[in-house]
Amino acid sequence: MRFSAACERNQQPILELLRAWLPASARVLEVGSGSGQHAVHMARHLAGLHWQPSDLPPLNDLEERLRLEGSSALAAGTVIAEPLELDVTRPEQWPAGPFDALFTANTCHIMPASAVPQLLAGAARVLAPGALLLLYGPFRDGEAHTAPSNAAFDAHLRAIDPAMGVRDARDLIGQAAALGLELRADAPMPANNRMLVFRRQSRGDAPPR
């Protein structure tokens, strides 16, 4: 069964941030659930949660972890839904929502650059007014990386595939704002990562385009 050491290291700091930001009994869509470790960890610690995992096919490893770990020792009232196949570039695969939050970890730098705007647009479609978009991972600011390790990681990714790479937080913030997603926090996280927290503008705010 697939295992991510990075998930194991970062799941507790991510949990603490989600605990601070998510509303009670939140309905959360996770994009790029991978090994399913985040889904299980959050569901064991956040009561009343409805966690919807998703990923690109095949989902075999994700389904296996959720089968083995996704229904026991969960927090009161919490449910992990059956995982969905979701390619962010295919609008017909997006669940209808509305969700109280969309969470994704370490996906923006792996998906093609052309897919990142479609991730943001999809989030704007499925989030309820006032809901949250939470993007976790390494980000740069313009041409400036926040650490030498992130610069090396960016070069490594681009050597594998020029369409991958550490994304520019300033660019993401601008694209999100045009869709009605307002930056509310840029939280430092372990290992030179960040959590960008956006809020879907409510009725009466400027509508998304």
Expressed as residue numbers, the domain containing 184 is 5-200
209 part of a folded domain = no
Domain of 136, CATH number, reads 3.40.50.150
What is the reported pLDDT for 206? 45
175 part of a folded domain = yes
What is the reported pLDDT for 177? 98
205 part of a folded domain = no
What is the reported pLDDT for 205? 56
Domain count, the chain: 1
Residue 44 CB neighbour total at 10 angstroms:
17
Tens digit of each residue's pLDDT, the chain (209 residues): 777 888 788 999 999 999 999 999 999 999 999 999 999 999 999 999 999 999 999 999 999 999 999 999 999 999 999 999 999 999 999 999 999 999 999 999 999 999 999 999 999 999 999 999 999 999 999 989 999 999 999 999 999 999 999 999 999 999 999 999 999 999 999 999 999 999 999 765 544 43
Residue 203 identity: R
Vertex 51 angle, CA 100 and 116, to 5°: 65
What is the reported pLDDT for 114? 97
206 part of a folded domain = no
What is the reported pLDDT for 207? 41
Cβ pair 136, 105 in contact under 8 A: yes
92 part of a folded domain = yes
What is the reported pLDDT for 209? 39
What is the reported pLDDT for 204? 52
Residue 108 identity: C
79 part of a folded domain = yes
Cβ pair 54, 80 in contact under 8 A: no
b/e code 106-145 from CB counts within 10 Å (16+ = b)? bbbbbbeeebbbbbbbbbbebbeeebbbbbbbbbbeeeeb
What is the reported pLDDT for 66? 96
